[in-house]
Amino acid sequence: MPPEAGAPAAPGAPGAPSPRVVWITGASSGIGLATALACARRGDRLLLSSRAPGPLEEAARQCRALGAADVQVAPLDTADDDAVRRASADAVRRWGRLDVVVQNAGVAAYGRVDEVPADVLAGVLRTNVLGAALVAAEAVRTFRHQGEGTLVVVGSVLGRITVPWMGAYNASKFALRGLVRTMQQENRDVPGIRISLVAPGGVDTPIYDQSATVLGRRNRPPYPVSSPGHVAEKVLRAADRSAAWHRELDAGWANPAMKAAYGLAPGLFDLLSRPAMRALGFTRAERPDGPGNVLAPRPHEEGLRQRR
């Protein structure tokens, strides 16, 4: 019986892509989980990391069921340099190399910058900037030793524009984009190394329920909303060595328009940003203030999409 139209070829079948060794951070939820599942369907060998061991094991189970060639888990905090180095070294020992690293782990906080607790502000920057930098640095060290490899960093359209009540997240994603561009420049001397940034707009993932807040309102992804699978497709496109090299890929059809408005009409953009954010970024439902998963994981809120 022929395979379903659009379904990936089984590993080893004629025309099927050869399995890669792929390390994904933030792999137990949202975009990271969707990327892991997409790589599993392709028959890749997977190293999955996040701070939540239980959901991480469930992600590994799903990946094995979908046909991943091999799956290992490495629960870790990406801002722990020793843990990051150990995970990378263990993958190389097991499989002989690392082909692709997807740096996806991230957290968010909602509230005016002067009202968000200092430990939460620091926590967002610790995960989104320091943690991302440590994973990216370890990936590049490995790739330079191998002479090749692909690093895909999941950023955000909020690395190009800003919105109110997300100051720490905005700052972290602007920093992340600067980090990626710098590393692209620094590694031009090794043609086999590819470094890309994927910048989603609003995505239907649990990060909105997991985020810290001091606003007492439930957050939601602003329109237009992409699925985690759509962003995973962009990540895989960036990771595909047969594809043209991309510095930065948008994942969201409205991203170009938002970036243009932010740059060409900043005064009007700022005027409209508060009412737009109130209407599109929050529901009417109340939500207790707190640090969310910024300071510690919340395993019960992990998953592919936001709870309804």
Clarify whether 223 is annotated catalytic: no
**Could you say which DSSP state residue 211 is in?**
S
The residues facing 177 across adjacent strands are none
Q: HSE on the CB side for 70, CA within 13 Å?
A: 11
Annotated catalytic residue, options 110, 169, 208, 262: 169
CB atoms within 10 A of CB 40: 25
Question: Which distant-in-sequence residues (6+ apart) come within 8 Å of 178 by Cβ?
Answer: none
Q: Can you tell me the distance from the alpha carbon of 44 to that of 30, in angstroms, rounded to the nearest whole number?
A: 19
Question: Which distant-in-sequence residues (6+ apart) come within 8 Å of 148 by Cβ?
Answer: 190, 192, 193
Q: Can you tell me the distance from the alpha carbon of 84 to that of 76, in angstroms, rounded to the nearest whole number?
A: 7
Q: Can you tell me the distance from the alpha carbon of 273 to that of 278, in angstroms, rounded to the nearest whole number?
A: 8
CA distances to 82, 85, 98, 247 from 151, in Å? 19, 15, 10, 11
Question: Is the link from the previous residue into 224 a cis peptide, with omega within 30 of 0?
Answer: yes
CB atoms within 10 A of CB 94: 13
Q: Can you tell me the distance from the alpha carbon of 106 to that of 202, in angstroms, rounded to the nearest whole number?
A: 14
Which residues are known to be catalytic? 169
